[in-house]
Amino acid sequence: MRSPTRIVAAFLALAVILAACGSDADDTAGTDDGDNGTDTEASGDPVTLNLWTFGNFGYDELIEEYQDDNPNITIETLSQEFDAHHDALITSLAAGTGGPDIAAAEVAFIGAFTNQADSFLNLLDYGAADIQDDYLDWKWDQATTLDGSATIGLPTDVGGMAICYRMDLFEEAGLPTDRDEVSALWENSWEDYIDVGIQYREATGRAFIDNEGLLYDAVVNQSPDTYYNSDGEYIFEQSEQVAYAWQIVTSAIEAEIDAKTPAWSAEWNAGMNNGDFAVLTCPAWMRGYIEDQAPDTFGDWDVATVPEGGGNWGGSHLVIPAQSEHPQEAYDFMAWILAPEQQLRVFEGTGNFPSTPELYDSPQMREFTSEFLNNAPLGEIYSDNALDVVAQNIGENYNLINQEIGEALNRVSDGLETPDEAWETAMANINRELGL
């Protein structure tokens, strides 16, 4: 998982690195037949593809199957921690060598990569337009240049939002535990969500949410109008959604419902077990994380809908760096493993939610439940949410802006600045760093 500080440092380096390797990057791709610089027919000769990922993409069994069906293809995988993976990918792009044939690029990075599309293969040259309709429009657009001339990645999973909550802790606080009744508590607004948190704190004396940063991300990402507009222009200072997310989170801080446990920390992981907080903003992939970190809470969790609907946290694309020596074989494998049938199998195994909407009405999806999460109908909940997500221009400096706002919220939480002071500081820092 990612460290915000490391992400910003990586992005500052990325701007320099990709500018340096930009237009010459695709000179390293194979040029055997003159069509798109690739072999358009598989030769049958032995080919080794290097695939770099992070975390758990759930591909192991699928890779074995693909190799059995394509005996000339060997796929060697390297899975690292989030930061190490993206650092290594950025370094290989700078060097123009030493990189993979295929790499996972998380949504935090895809905006910057798309703004330097020459560093990657344009998948439209390999037939990607023929499968575009298989994927959610908003997810496809994340890896497509603003002018539509290039698409550098195929969508993997999406992080459609829900709220995971501890039924045992809700019962202790005298709150409903049925998922439909819990969803109804806050379906109209995030203000209602905070009110439930106040009720919980007053009844138990404990925090309701885990940390203010993840609450901010959940709220701000429910709108397309956050830090950039659809034309790629900065709007973060004027965005109504950014202002609304800021108001919601500062209200939660003032209400003292925040456990202040940093995401991905040992304290955060322990808090899932110990009941240090009662709710988590919960994309589909969080199921596997809770199971790993809090196995003793089996059956204590359930899943409710997110306030106001929509929103996305996480998800990735697979990209092919222009230096790949086997671009056609890489694309063929990507197109297969990210087809709807394979995405469904990954979801059933790991919880990574498909980006292919044709699955959302299928019996396999609508009837999928999680025994760990009290048999919650995850397929139904996350399908409905994914369809509510609206296209958002991530932009190359999304994380720099997001990090500054996150640090400002930390200062409010720590009592170092008032909300107004912290906002002014954040805006000044962002404008200075972006040279505006």
Percent of all residues in the chain with a pLDDT value above 90, rounded to a whole number: 72
pLDDT beyond 50 at 384: yes
Question: Domains in the chain, start-ordered, CATH in brackets?
Answer: 4-158+314-379 (3.40.190.10), 160-312+392-434 (3.40.190.10)
Enter the tokens of residue 72: 């000339």
What is the rounded CA–CA span in Å between residue 219 and residue 163? 12
Question: Lowest mean pLDDT: which of 33-42, 114-123, 185-194, 419-428?
Answer: 33-42
Enter the tokens of residue 148: 């539509």
Residue 317's H or E segment, with its range, is strand 312-319
pLDDT of residue 5: 38
Once rounded to an integer, what is the mean pLDDT over residues 248-267?
A: 95
Once rounded to an integer, what is the mean pLDDT over residues 78-96?
A: 93
Question: Lowest mean pLDDT: which of 23-32, 211-220, 283-292?
Answer: 23-32
Percent of all residues in the chain with a pLDDT value above 70, rounded to a whole number: 90
Q: How confident is the model at residue 156 (pLDDT cuts 50, 70, 90)?
A: very high
Q: How confident is the model at residue 16 (pLDDT cuts 50, 70, 90)?
A: very low
Q: How confident is the model at residue 26 (pLDDT cuts 50, 70, 90)?
A: very low
Q: How confident is the model at residue 390 (pLDDT cuts 50, 70, 90)?
A: confident
Question: Which three-class secondary structure state does DSSP give residue 115?
Answer: coil
Q: How confident is the model at residue 406 (pLDDT cuts 50, 70, 90)?
A: very high
DSSP 28-66: GS--SSSSTTS-SS---S-EEEEEEEES----HHHHHHH
pLDDT beyond 60 at 100: yes
Q: How confident is the model at residue 348 (pLDDT cuts 50, 70, 90)?
A: confident
